[in-house]
Amino acid sequence: MALFGQSRDVSMIRLLNRELMGNIISEQCVYYKYVLSKTNTNMYGEAAGGKNFAAPVLLNCLIERGEQEYPTSDLGVDLKRGISFRFLKDDLIDATVVPEIGDIIMFQEGYFEVDVTVENQLFVGKDSNYPYDVNPINPGLEEFGYNVSIICKVHEVPSDRLNIVKARI
């Protein structure tokens, strides 16, 4: 039988993570969930009138900013920076948000579109939702482990391409 990673340990880690994210790191972003059913498409399957998003949700996150790059093209010099937003899975469950490709994250008046979601940070290397078969050598392994976070890797998008900010009249 495993020694660590049972529900008591998971509860302590969950409490520490929420305290750390909410009161110490305290970085927040606004998450816009893409709603495909409300988006009108043209005959090519493209969003004709822009994408539609659900109501925004304020979430605690940990942001990893990459180095700035300045690639040049025929149009001039551009600015690119790799950024990833890290969310506690419990916070996403409480907010009923499932990160998917195409969603928008707003941080410091910049808009970022989700390219990739990574869900592989496991406490004690195990996810309790996938115990596989009952192990005769170690029974009860379905009570161990915890899926800690979801990482969203993003790229910046101009705000005028989105249907989020209302234009001035």
Task: Express each pLDDT in 149-169 by its tens digit.
Answer: 899 999 888 877 776 765 555
**CA-closest candidate to residue 114, choices 44, 59, 40:** 59
119 pLDDT exceeds 70?
Answer: yes
H or E element in which residue 9 lies: helix 7-19
Mean pLDDT, residues 28-56 taken together? 74
What pLDDT sits at residue 140?
67
58 pLDDT exceeds 90?
Answer: yes
Calpha distance 61→26 (Å, rounded): 8
pTM for the complete prediction?
Answer: 0.77
Share of the chain above pLDDT 70, in %: 73
Calpha distance 79→69 (Å, rounded): 6
**Can you count the helices (H) and strands (E) in the chain?**
2, 8
Calpha distance 106→156 (Å, rounded): 10
H or E element in which residue 65 lies: strand 57-69
Q: What's the whole-number average pLDDT of the chain? A: 80
Bigger pLDDT: 143 or 158? 158
Cα-based distances in Å from 30 to 6, 15, 110, 147: 33, 23, 10, 23
What pLDDT sits at residue 151?
93
Share of the chain above pLDDT 90, in %: 28
Helix (H, G, I), strand (E, B) or coil at 163: coil
- pLDDT bracket for residue 13 (50, 70, 90): confident
Count the neighbouring beta carbons within 10 Å of the beta carbon of residue 84: 18
What pLDDT sits at residue 107?
92
Calpha distance 120→29 (Å, rounded): 22
